[in-house]
């Protein structure tokens, strides 16, 4: 995982944006290292019964899918969620081994890394966000970094509650 506290100030914008997103992705993966299959599926927060390590990793995977493929590229939404079950990606995650979910997330991240490398940061998304605006790729990268980082905090708390493992 690339450290971000010692990055050169001369890096261009694309490198900074992608480095921060990759760091957040790598942190999510690191939070799951060595966790038992049982603990990966355990929900510990009474108000959030879907918040498991597996559920959060699957959520991160599908969030990136939504922002890159549905919003940015304008493809049809084939995500697992439904109007009746908007958090289904978190619910179904417990049916899959965590290593599989992590591998799928990594493979997908690699494809999106290639997409970002080949696309102008100012390129507008095909679909608008809730406000009706068509955000650019730069905005999507910033949003995904924020989303992933926020969920890394959840992963950190769950992991400590599950088996006492804490991170940096």
- Per-residue pLDDT tens digits for 121-165: 999 999 999 999 999 999 999 999 999 999 999 999 999 999 999
79 contacts 93 by C-beta, under 8 angstroms: no
41 is a domain residue: yes
Residue 22 DSSP class: H
Confidence of residue 167 (pLDDT cuts 50, 70, 90): confident
Angle at which helix 13-31 crosses helix 98-117, to 10 degrees, equals: 180
9 is a domain residue: no
Q: What is the mean pLDDT of residues 105-111?
A: 97
pLDDT at 99: 98
Cα Rg of the chain (Å, integer): 16
- Per residue in 124-135, pLDDT tens? 999 999 999 999
pLDDT of 1 > 60? The answer is no
C-alpha to C-alpha distance for 10 and 158, rounded to whole angstroms: 37
105 contacts 61 by C-beta, under 8 angstroms: yes
Torsion on CA atoms 51, 34, 25, 5, rounded to nearest 10:
120
- Per residue in 50-71, pLDDT tens? 999 999 999 999 999 999 999 9
CATH of the domain at 114: 1.20.120.450
pLDDT of 88 > 90? The answer is yes
Confidence of residue 5 (pLDDT cuts 50, 70, 90): low
pLDDT of 81 > 70? The answer is yes
Token readout for 13 is 């914008």
Q: How many residues does the chain have?
A: 168
C-alpha to C-alpha distance for 133 and 142, rounded to whole angstroms: 16
69 is a domain residue: yes
22 is a domain residue: yes
168 is a domain residue: no
pLDDT of 75 > 80? The answer is yes
Q: Which domain holds residue 95?
A: 17-163
| CA nearest neighbour of 79 among 135, 114, 28, 88 | 88
C-alpha to C-alpha distance for 141 and 155, rounded to whole angstroms: 21
pLDDT of 42 > 70? The answer is yes
121 is a domain residue: yes
| Number of domains the chain contains | 1
Q: pTM of the full predicted structure? A: 0.93
């Amino acid at each position: 995982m690339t450290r971000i506290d010692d990055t050169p100030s001369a890096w261009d914008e694309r490198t900074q944006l992608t480095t921060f997103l990759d760091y957040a992705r790598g942190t999510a993966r690191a939070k799951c290292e060595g966790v038992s299959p049982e603990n990966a599926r355990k929900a510990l927060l009474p108000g959030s019964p879907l918040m498991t390590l597996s559920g959060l990793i699957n959520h991160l995977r599908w969030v990136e899918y939504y922002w890159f493929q549905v919003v940015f590229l304008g493809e049809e939404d084939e995500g697992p969620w439904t109007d009746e079950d908007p958090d289904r990606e978190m619910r179904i995650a417990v049916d899959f081994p965590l290593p599989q979910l992590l591998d799928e997330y990594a493979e997908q991240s690699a494809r999106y890394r290639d997409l970002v490398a080949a696309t102008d940061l100012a390129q507008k998304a095909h679909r608008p966000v809730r406000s009706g605006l068509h955000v650019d790729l730069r905005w999507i990268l910033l949003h995904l970094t924020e989303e992933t980082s926020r969920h890394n905090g959840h992963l950190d708390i769950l992991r400590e509650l599950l088996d006492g493992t804490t991170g940096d």
